[in-house]
Structure formats: C-alpha cells, structure tokens
C-alpha cells in the first residue's frame, strides 16, 4: 500500500507537524534560566512585580503574561581614588589614596522593593 496515494496522509502529517511545532515553541518560551550570581524577578501583566525572588536554575512562567527580570547580585569591585593637598603658596604637596570597595547585594527579599521604587519612583 502506498502512503502517498492515500489522500488523508499528507494533511494529517502537516497537522501533526504543525501541532508539534506549536507545542515545542510554547514549551521553549515558557522556560527561563537564572545563572549563578543572579536572581530573577517576575513581572506579571496582571499584578505587576511579584514578591517572589527566583534563585539559580531553570524556572517556568506563563508566556506573554509574565516576563523575567534578571538582576546581578555578584560581589563587584569599585575603585575609589582621591587626591588631597595642602594650601601652600608654591606647588602644594598632594597625596593620593586609592581604596578598593567590594559590595554585594544582600537581602534578596528587598530586590522587588528597590526595583519598583527606582522604576516607578
């Protein structure tokens, strides 16, 4: 029996492939990954920014209604430099100092509050 001779085979195959492609597209768009040193907030179109902070890993969301906002919480260095001098009449001596400041976002529960405050202030 020839499958191509059957008039129902090609439309059924096209429908099955379309359904499989639609399912794969929805599955891919409903997953997101949070890398190490990052946290994710969820923006929901119905309620705004949710209070839940997601940690590292793969998470699920409802496509189009929710959107992940990735926030970096790693320890980052900041170099601070300063020059000071005395009030002299000729060529005042100056001294310079440099400091390295390491800071890290603490309190993951405060991230939604700060994000909302700075965004909608």
Weakly modelled stretches of the chain, pLDDT under 70: 1-6, 86-93, 105-111, 114-121
What local confidence, expressed as pLDDT, does residue 50 receive? 85
Distance CA 29, CA 85 (A): 59
What local confidence, expressed as pLDDT, does residue 90 receive? 64
Question: For all residues of the chain together, what is the average pLDDT?
Answer: 81
Integer-rounded Cα radius of gyration of the chain:
28
What local confidence, expressed as pLDDT, does residue 81 receive? 85
Q: Write out the two tokens for 40.
A: 């994710």
What local confidence, expressed as pLDDT, does residue 32 receive? 94
State the Cα torsion 73-79-80-86 to the nearest 10°: 170
CB 30 within 8 A of CB 63: yes
pTM of the model: 0.61
* Among the listed residues 64, 3, 68, the one whose alpha carbon sits nearest the alpha carbon of residue 32: 68
């Amino acid at each position: 029996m020839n499958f191509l001779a059957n008039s129902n085979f090609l439309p059924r195959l096209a429908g099955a492939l379309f359904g499989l492609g639609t399912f794969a597209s929805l599955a891919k768009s409903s997953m997101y990954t949070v890398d190490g040193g990052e946290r994710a907030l969820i923006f929901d179109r119905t309620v705004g920014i949710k209070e839940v902070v997601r940690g590292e890993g793969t998470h699920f969301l409802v496509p189009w209604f929710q959107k992940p906002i990735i926030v970096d919480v790693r320890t980052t260095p900041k170099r601070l430099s300063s020059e000071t001098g005395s009030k002299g009449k000729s060529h005042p001596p100056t001294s310079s100092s440099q400091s390295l400041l390491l800071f890290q976002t603490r309190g993951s529960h405060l991230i939604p509050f700060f994000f909302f405050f700075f965004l909608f202030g």
